[in-house]
């Protein structure tokens, strides 16, 4: 599965948000299986009204949504890259996540100590990013020493790695994140380096309860920064999320609308997280279950089948595909087939968001 690491300075609301995310998911768990995998890892169902519609039309007994994992990563303080706080453990945890959810304190509350003495989310973002850049720089510099030696000795692969690494190294040395210097077309190779500053970032502006619908001056600055960086940002009030995490569906909708909100912060974070990771959803739908599956945009049919089971990918023959809209318009598989809306696609087919798929394969 795909996962997002929740990072931020101490006392910005990470744990409050993480607990609210996982409890809200648990409270919504009617059909939506949910679990806390470890104390700091939660799996959250991705809300998708299309899946409910498919369950209804396909008369499926069960609904299985796709999910995203969130990891609460504690221990980031100024100096983490030099081993301060839980420095090393923190860095190891963050290397393993696919995307970073960066919580920034945008709420004023004199009772809650700010580690840096005042509320300033841009300074905080820079503090955290600096630690990540320093750690990346350290790692890349060490790697470059070995690679340079091997490249001089005529090792072609090492030379190619150096070509990939050099611009990123230069960016980090100049105080810019490695993501600003990934060579075009080398995104996959760069991702394998497991640098922290190439990972996509979502800024979560944790604002006060009364500002959840509008944001405030602090969150406005974060949005401006996100836009300049090509990152994303959402406004959330962790305090509100904590309150609604215990509420049932209708109460929650009513409470949110009384605050001028259409959906929960959970929904916004999940949607943004999904977009951040370049993820899309395809479905399988039969009498036993209607199910959503997460894949990366651009995946071809065999790889997409492999998300269900490795055998589906290895033995892939073809995919019967019905677009979601056709599935609904023609009231299910049979109707769509009769209307000529079922396509048999081969190995090169690029799966689209919303495709309802059935794979044919050899075992």
Give the interface with ligand GDP as residue ranges (CB under 6 A): 8, 10-16, 107, 109, 112, 206, 208, 237-239
Q: Give CA–CA dist 40/290, Å, rounded.
A: 29
In 3D space, the residue among 74, 193, 207, 208 whose CA is nearest the CA of residue 142 turns out to be 193
Q: Are strands 316-322 and 356-361 parallel, antiparallel or unpaired?
A: antiparallel
Compute φ and ψ for 7, nearest 5 degrees.
Answer: -125, 165
**16 annotated to a ligand binding site:** yes
| Shortest distance (Å) from residue 155 CB to ligand GDP | 45
Residue-wise burial string across 166-175, b where 16 or more C-beta atoms lie within 10 A, e elsewhere: bbbbebbeee
| Shortest distance (Å) from residue 78 CB to ligand GDP | 14
The answer to whether 46 and 274 have CB atoms below 8 angstroms apart is yes
Q: Which is nearer to ligand GDP, 15 or 194 (CB)?
A: 15
**7 annotated to a ligand binding site:** no
| Shortest distance (Å) from residue 237 CB to ligand GDP | 5
Q: Which is nearer to ligand GDP, 75 or 335 (CB)?
A: 75
Q: Which is nearer to ligand GDP, 51 or 233 (CB)?
A: 233
| Shortest distance (Å) from residue 244 CB to ligand GDP | 13
Q: Which is nearer to ligand GDP, 67 or 206 (CB)?
A: 206
Task: Give the list of residues 6+ apart from residue 309 with CB closer than 8 angstroms, or none.
Answer: none
**13 annotated to a ligand binding site:** yes
| Shortest distance (Å) from residue 254 CB to ligand GDP | 21
**11 annotated to a ligand binding site:** yes
Compute φ and ψ for 307, nearest 5 degrees.
Answer: -65, -30
Tokens of 97: 């996540």
**115 annotated to a ligand binding site:** no
**67 annotated to a ligand binding site:** no
* H or E segment and range at residue 202: strand 201-206
What's 350's DSSP letter?
Answer: B
- Pure H helices in 67-202: 87-95, 121-152, 156-173, 187-192
Q: Give CA–CA dist 190/293, Å, rounded.
A: 26
Query: What is the secondary structure of 255-281 as a DSSP string?
Result: HHHHTT-SS-HHHHHHHHHHHHTTEEE
Q: Which is nearer to ligand GDP, 32 or 107 (CB)?
A: 107
| Shortest distance (Å) from residue 6 CB to ligand GDP | 8
| Shortest distance (Å) from residue 229 CB to ligand GDP | 22
Q: Which is nearer to ligand GDP, 3 or 16 (CB)?
A: 16
Secondary structure (3-state) at 51: helix
Q: Which is nearer to ligand GDP, 53 or 78 (CB)?
A: 78
| Binding-site sequence positions for ATP | 11-16
């Amino acid at each position: 599965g795909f996962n997002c690491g929740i990072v931020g300075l101490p006392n910005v609301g990470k744990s409050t948000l993480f607990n609210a995310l996982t409890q809200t998911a648990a409270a919504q768990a009617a059909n939506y299986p949910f679990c806390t995998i470890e104390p700091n890892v939660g799996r959250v169902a991705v809300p998708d009204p299309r899946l409910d519609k498919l369950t209804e039309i396909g008369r499926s007994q069960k609904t299985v949504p796709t999910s995203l994992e969130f990891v609460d990563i504690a221990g980031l303080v100024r100096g983490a890259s030099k081993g301060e706080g839980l420095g090393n453990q923190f860095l190891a945890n963050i290397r393993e996540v696919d995307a970073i959810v960066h919580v920034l304190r945008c709420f004023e509350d004199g009772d809650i100590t700010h580690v840096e003495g005042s509320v300033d989310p841009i300074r905080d973002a820079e503090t955290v990013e600096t630690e990540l850049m320093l750690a990346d720089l350290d790692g890349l510099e060490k790697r470059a020493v070995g690679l340079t030696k091997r490249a001089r000795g005529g090792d072609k692969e090492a030379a190619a790695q150096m070509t990939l690494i050099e611009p990123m190294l230069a960016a980090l040395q100049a105080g810019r994140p490695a993501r600003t210097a990934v060579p075009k077309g080398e995104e996959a190779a760069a991702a394998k380096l497991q640098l922290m500053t190439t990972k996509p970032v979502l800024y979560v502006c944790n604002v006060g309860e009364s500002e959840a619908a509008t944001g405030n001056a602090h969150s406005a600055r974060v949005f401006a920064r996100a836009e300049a960086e090509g990152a994303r940002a959402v406004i959330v009030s962790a305090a509100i999320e904590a309150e609604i995490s215990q509420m049932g569906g209708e109460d929650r909708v009513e409470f949110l609308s009384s605050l001028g909100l259409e959906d929960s912060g959970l929904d916004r974070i999940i949607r943004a997280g999904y977009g951040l990771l370049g993820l899309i959803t395809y479905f399988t739908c039969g009498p036993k279950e209607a199910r959503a599956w997460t894949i990366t945009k651009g995946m071809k049919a065999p790889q997409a089948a492999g998300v269900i089971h490795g055998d589906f990918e290895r033995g892939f023959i073809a995919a019967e595909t019905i677009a979601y809209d056709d599935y609904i318009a023609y009231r299910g598989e049979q109707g769509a087939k009769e209307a000529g809306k079922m396509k048999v696609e081969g190995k090169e087919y690029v799966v689209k968001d919303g495709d309802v798929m059935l794979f044919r394969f050899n075992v």
